[in-house]
Amino acid sequence: MRASRFLLATVKETPADAVVISHQLMLRAGMIRKLASGLYNWLPVGLRVLRKVERIVREEMDASGAQEVLMPVVQPMELWDESGRAPAYGPELLRITDRHNNPFCLGPTHEEVITDLVRNEIHSYKQLPMNFYQIQTKFRDETRPRFGVMRAREFIMKDAYSFHINMESLQKTYDEMYRTYCRIFDRIGLDYRPVAADTGSIGGSGSHEFHVLADSGEDAIAFSNQSDYAANVELAEAIAVGERAGAKEELRLVDTPNAKTIAELVEQFDIPASQTVKTLIVAASEDFGGGFVALLLRGDHELNEIKAEKHPAIAGPLRFATEEEIRNLIGAGPGSLGPLNLPIPFIADQAVTLCSDFASGANIDGKHYFGINWERDLAIEVTADLRNAIEGDPSPDGKGSLTIRRGIEVGHIFQLGTKYSQALGAKVLDENGKAVVMPMGCYGIGVSRVVAAAIEQNYDDRGIIWPASIAPFDVALIPLNLKKNPREGELCERLYAELTAAGFDVLYDDREKERLGVKLADAELIGIPHRLLITEKGIDAGTLEYKGRRDADPTDVAITELTTFLQSR
RNA sequence: CGGAGUAUAGCUCAGCCUGGUAGAGCACUACGUUCGGGACGUAGGGGUCGCAGGUUCAAAUCCUGCUACUCCGACCA
């Protein structure tokens, strides 16, 4: 590609509304431009990267035996009524009507469509298993799009759906997809981890997420320091260890007029946060008789809302009581709640049951109890794992302790089971001629998100540093001064042809109006892995100047050796 | 959806408090000089000041409403 005929839309200034580095650099490098909130144009530089990611995904999916299909973005609501998923998806599902006033939606995912296709096309167990995938545009009307293409409303996803005669077959394909995902992210060159995950709204049993490790990630992941254990913090079991210490203090009621939060209590009364207990009031489930239930957590722990929602006594979706409801129920405000003399039932996080001599609200405004002890002062009712695992917790597999790191979710694989095939009646005949509902798996990769995630992991103060496999160009070919030194142009033309013939994607910066500094800065900003600088001096010496994107200093390479030199890199 | 903020040239922003001819830097066009790390000079082009009302002799500026966008929280590839 000649730079003079290519939209190299680089900008010097960091755009004002970009917060994360990948968003800033994608805008600065001229990869994307915003059209509206969560909607982006992909410019030539960006699209080149996107296509390279797609190619790797496609090659590995094909190699795994999956078959590529392409389904429409627009889907009839009829199918969503049939699966019963429309209400659960809510306003994130963008609904539209056609000119005949028939309801459609923009597909946020394609379980319904593929299941409909398969129920019409596959009738025998002999055809199974089959795995179909597509790389296609998805639309989710996110409440808060952010971070550029990292969380856009319209995005590119690779989604795959497998169909099976039984669970063993599903497990086999699931394992194959797990390995395929590892190969894909290895080839792209990302530092990633597969982690055990919650199955979320799609439903089903087994599930792993693939996370690219980056401080800007929106997910927290717990790793064991002594085993392979890795799980999303949403899912990671929080283990309480140790014995409860004996009571040393007397129970006493203390005036705490200015302590409405754990932080204030800790500061004003010099109590460690781990010896305080906070009390959250949430709606109870219908099965539990409705009303409200209190959740007890150690002051230094955080409620895990997913775990809470799964508890049979707690209503899902989780709903916190309003301040007014709390007052009516307890007669005190949210800053003064505690388990002692609490008129509603409570569920104590496991760690809370190990506390002794702890402080908590007295259910009287402006007062706390200090020196509370279980058994002596009140009985433990129900206990559960309600909190997020934190750094230093024992690993749930019993080996080592947990460290917490941030991750960007770029892939997710699920064993769906028969959730959709059952709802849509996707069955085949087995060897006994009996109709069997097909268990399904589904496997997603956020292709456009991978592009952003790769940047989050690979950049410096000059710009992007692409992994070689997905760089928009392999080589930047830069003459020092085309106008003054025509010999540089002649050599560039020759090398451009030679390298292109050897299979390299070359950006030949033949712009006459730009000075050297601009060209070097552009090549670095858009992250081209290899840079060649052609000078008159070098031509006389039979060399050119090479610099890898991560190199500190350039090295001279013989012009005649260039292709072999680059091939060895 | 709750809270906060922003909206002036393609981009980054000043001007608004205290109403009176719409500005800078970058980018763009032309010419000249320069050119091994985002050059310099001269001359240009480019704005219904987000939209709609109101107050006023006069509104980018004050008031009201709306819209869009961004950020912080609950959801997901």
The pLDDT assigned to A307 comes to 85
- CB within 7 A of strand B (chain A, 499-518): 515-518
Q: What is the pLDDT confidence band of residue A354, given thresholds at 50, 70 and 90?
A: very high
Tokens of A259: 């302590």
Protein CB footprint (7 Å) on chain B nucleotides: 1-2, 11-13, 25-26, 34-39, 68-77
Measured from the CB, is A559 under 7 Å from any atom of strand B?
no
The rounded distance, in Å, linking the Cα atoms of A411 and A54 is 14
Q: What is the pTM of this model?
A: 0.91
Full DSSP string of A236-288: ------S-PPPP-S--EEEE-TT--SHHHHHHHHT--GGGBEEEEEEEBPTTT
The pLDDT assigned to A336 comes to 84
Residue with tokens 């069955």: A427
The pLDDT assigned to A149 comes to 93
More confident residue, A381 or A82: A82
Q: What is the pLDDT confidence band of residue A325, given thresholds at 50, 70 and 90?
A: confident
Measured from the CB, is A535 under 7 Å from any atom of strand B?
yes
pLDDT digits (tens, 9 = 90+) for A256-267: 887 878 888 888
Q: Give the nucleotide nearest to A537 (CA→C1').
A: B36
Does residue A346 surpass a pLDDT of 80?
yes
Q: Give the nucleotide nearest to A520 (CA→C1').
A: B37
Q: What is the DSSP letter of A314?
A: B
Q: Can you give the distance from the CA of residue A144 to the C1' of nucleotide B72 in angstroms?
A: 11
Which residues sit opposite A18 in a β-bridge?
A: none
Q: Do residues A26 and A150 touch, judged by C-beta distance below 8 A?
A: no
Q: Do residues A502 and A494 touch, judged by C-beta distance below 8 A?
A: no
Does residue A533 surpass a pLDDT of 80?
yes
Does residue A272 surpass a pLDDT of 60?
yes
Does residue A512 surpass a pLDDT of 50?
yes
Mean pLDDT of A329-346: 86
Mean pLDDT of A106-117: 96
Residue A427 neighbours by CB distance under 10 Å:
17
pLDDT digits (tens, 9 = 90+) for A375-413: 999 998 889 999 988 888 999 888 999 999 999 999 999
Measured from the CB, is A520 under 7 Å from any atom of strand B?
yes
Full DSSP string of A121-164: H--BGGG--EEEEEEEEEE---SS-BTGGGB-SEEEEEEEEEE-
Does residue A205 surpass a pLDDT of 80?
no
Measured from the CB, is A323 under 7 Å from any atom of strand B?
no
Q: What percent of chain A has pLDDT over 90?
A: 68
The pLDDT assigned to A175 comes to 94
Does residue A254 surpass a pLDDT of 50?
yes
Q: Write b or e for each residue in A321-334: b if 16 or more Cβ atoms lie within 10 A of its Cβ, otherwise e.
A: beeeebeebbebbb
pLDDT digits (tens, 9 = 90+) for A158-186: 999 999 999 999 999 999 999 999 999 99
Q: Write b or e for each residue in A59-96: b if 16 or more Cβ atoms lie within 10 A of its Cβ, otherwise e.
A: ebbeebebeeeebeeebbbebbebbebbeebeeebeee
The pLDDT assigned to A203 comes to 47
Amino acid residing at A400: G
More confident residue, A383 or A478: A478
Q: Give the nucleotide nearest to A159 (CA→C1').
A: B77
Does residue A302 surpass a pLDDT of 90?
no
